[in-house]
Structure 1
Amino acid sequence: MARTINRRQFIAASGVAGFAGLAGCIGDDVQNENGDGDGGDSNPDGDGEILSWHAGGQGGTYYPLSGDFKTIVEESTGHSLQVQSTGASVENVGSLNREKADFALIQNDIAYFAVNGTGLEQFEGNSMENIRGVATLYPETIHVVTQADSGIETVEDLEGTTVNTGAPGSGTQVNALQILETAGIGEGDFDEQNGDFTTATEQIRDGDVDAAFVVGGWPVSSVQQLATTSSVSLVEVSGDIRESVKSDAEWFADDTVPAGTYDGIDQDVETVSVQAMIATHEGVDEGVVEEVTAAIFDNTDQITQKTEFIGVDSAQDGMPIDLHPGADAYFN
């Protein structure tokens, strides 16, 4: 069982910026592309429904992968997916909890925290028990990006530097603060900046930050674009630090960014990862969830992102929460 993170405890970023991000996702409606925050409306042009699907920032993996799912579902069922770009995991669990999204992509650690009301200060006493799992997808790799000549070679070298830890309240920020804390770098030991993946890589390019955390299935498009125009390096999360990270937060697993994934990265880079997953909420019709799940996993050959990882056989690996009955009907 995953343990509660006792970070002094995300008081600086999660307690302020992170909490503000969560408050926004709890209190404000997130609109889909047709201007309606509520999902699950009848589709006037067919027998299916218009389903709101919350993804992530356009510079990561969630958004283009969600585009693949949209194409597949709309070609295979009567349903229409309205894909929304969002702040990703923490924002998305709030949208699911309020039933303003029908489906969303989230990290497995954030799913566990949200449903159990633990792990992060934002979730304490606010368990989101209506969220249900659909399927796990692929490893979300922790990238620690820096300029090639920065002199930053280890996580410990980030002490005293300026670091973009991700969008406020995002899963990326959560993971970054966990890793920094494990390395002995707490609040006040570095200058924290926040922004989405595109902002983070632009800051690296312009020298506005020393390093940035980006969490996504490699290759992450924003990092890929940065590496084509700038000399970058990836900081390893390896050795004793990696073992300590996994001990402190049991949802992390060993991972490697293969040599050649990004221009200028000529050797494998050891790091850790969490798991991306599809989630829904218990208010979505069982038949709809089964149809959407079947469409995706019966047509994985049409997926263009992370194709080597996504499949029926691995779709419940690392699933941290109860399955929606519609997903259970498909897989079991």
Structure 2
Amino acid sequence: MTTESSYGVERRDVLKGVGAAGLAGLAGCMGGSSGEQISWHAGGQSGTYYPLSNEFKTIVDGNTDHSLTVQSTGASVENVGSLGSGDADFALIQNDVAYFARNGTSLETFEGNPVESLRGVATLYPETIHIVVRPDAGIESLSDMEGKSINTGDLGSGTQVNALQILETVGITTDDFDQQNADFGTAADQLRDGDVEAAFVVGGWPVGAVADLAETADVELLNLDSDTRDDLKDAASWFADDTIPAGTYSDIDQEVNTVSVQAMIATRADYSADVVEAVTAAIFDNLGELTIKTDFISVDTAQDGMSIELHEGAARYFE
């Protein structure tokens, strides 16, 4: 395992200093003197994936000869499909969705159709489940969400997957509520306008859309008691206890107990091991250049919760 040491600095200097001939040998699949044009799929612009991915772009562009293009997407499930088809080279996804996809289980999209080319690079930070409710909706527990109008996230997104898993744990199926599907920004507008009574938002706190909503509307975050959290963890082993600190969002002055999954970087098995290693090294040798999730992203925790096998290039760096 490498750290921000003389070895990391040395490695970074080598990667930046590789000339045309050396670069061709490094990446294998490149021609000419320019580096690889890397397709990186993120998430919605109102969440955490997109701005964090753009910080990764700045690091990769500045510390390698490669160039990274960030695309806004519907996040985890869509991103897995893009990796499987080869439309994306890297993507941010949730660790639970990664497991479902690689093993062809649990989700209709992947049931019996595993994405065998999916590979892991690194885990990053907890993806906190925010259950945002209108104060006048009468929702004080998950069971109270029966019969309500609820935005469960973009259709096919990791957010929708988690929302339905959570509701099913207390016996609420899609027949028991009015399901709306939209991104975080639209969900915030729906809550503000009274079009939905609750919305699931999954992302490392503070999520921009939730922060903006709390500044302009009266909203609450649903607190999950210990028994509910235990039930959720028993039903789905990828959930972990999480807490949103008091004061994270305007007028929410008490800590909120909830659960989380893990955000991770993924790639595809057939992508160049040399490029994957170079990108991984650039990011984790230059974590000081990040401004987002800096308390969580580290070399030491980058394999915590990794739910699928590592890509060869990532394994070279971390092992």
Confirm or deny a common fold (TM above 0.5): yes
Aligned-residue sequence identity (percent) comes to 66
2:89 match: 102
SS at match of 2:59: helix
Report which of the two has the higher share of helix: 2
2:51 match: 64
Shift, 1:147, TM fit: 2.1
1:26 match: none
CA RMSD of aligned residues (A): 1.3
2:78 match: 91
1:165 aligned to 2:152? Answer: yes
Distance 2:29 2:215 in 1: 43
2:62 match: 75
2:282 match: 295
Structure 1 segments unaligned to the other structure (5+ residues): 1-39
Match of 2:195 among 192, 195, 208: 208
Match of 1:318 among 305, 309, 317: 305
1:187 aligned to 2:174? Answer: yes
Distance 2:189 2:68 in 1: 31
Distance 1:148 1:270 in 2: 17
Shift, 1:41, TM fit: 8.1
Query: In the alignment, residue 164 of structure 2 is paired with which amino acid?
Result: L
Shift, 1:238, TM fit: 2.5
Distance 1:166 1:50 in 2: 31
Distance 1:246 1:308 in 2: 24
Superposition map of 1:249-260 within 5 A: 249-260=236-247
SS at match of 1:270: strand
1:31-80 deviation line (CA, Å, top 9, x unaligned): xxxxxxxxx98587x53110000000000000000010000000000011
Structure 2 segments unaligned to the other structure (5+ residues): 1-27
Distance 1:42 1:194 in 2: 40
Match of 2:164 among 171, 177, 198: 177
Distance 2:193 2:256 in 1: 24
Q: Which structure has the greater CA radius of gyration?
A: 2
Distance 1:232 1:265 in 2: 8
Query: In the alignment, residue 153 of structure 1 is paired with which amino acid?
Result: E
Superposition map of 1:119-138 within 5 A: 119-138=106-125
Query: In the alignment, residue 227 of structure 1 is paired with which amino acid?
Result: A
Shift, 1:188, TM fit: 1.7
Shift, 1:156, TM fit: 1.2
Shift, 1:152, TM fit: 1.5
More displaced stretch, 265-274 vs 143-152: 143-152
SS at match of 1:284: coil
Distance 1:315 1:43 in 2: 32
8 Å CA contact 1:41, 1:51 repeated in 2: no
SS at match of 2:189: helix
Shift, 1:119, TM fit: 1.3
8 Å CA contact 1:43, 1:50 repeated in 2: no
Q: How many residues align?
A: 292
Match of 2:211 among 212, 224, 235: 224
8 Å CA contact 2:152, 2:159 repeated in 1: yes
8 Å CA contact 2:83, 2:267 repeated in 1: yes
8 Å CA contact 1:43, 1:80 repeated in 2: no
Query: In the alignment, residue 192 of structure 1 is paired with which amino acid?
Result: Q
8 Å CA contact 2:29, 2:272 repeated in 1: no
TM-score (norm 1): 0.86
Distance 1:237 1:71 in 2: 38
Distance 1:211 1:145 in 2: 5
Distance 1:188 1:125 in 2: 25
2:143 match: 156
Distance 1:280 1:216 in 2: 20
SS at match of 1:212: strand
Distance 2:135 2:112 in 1: 43
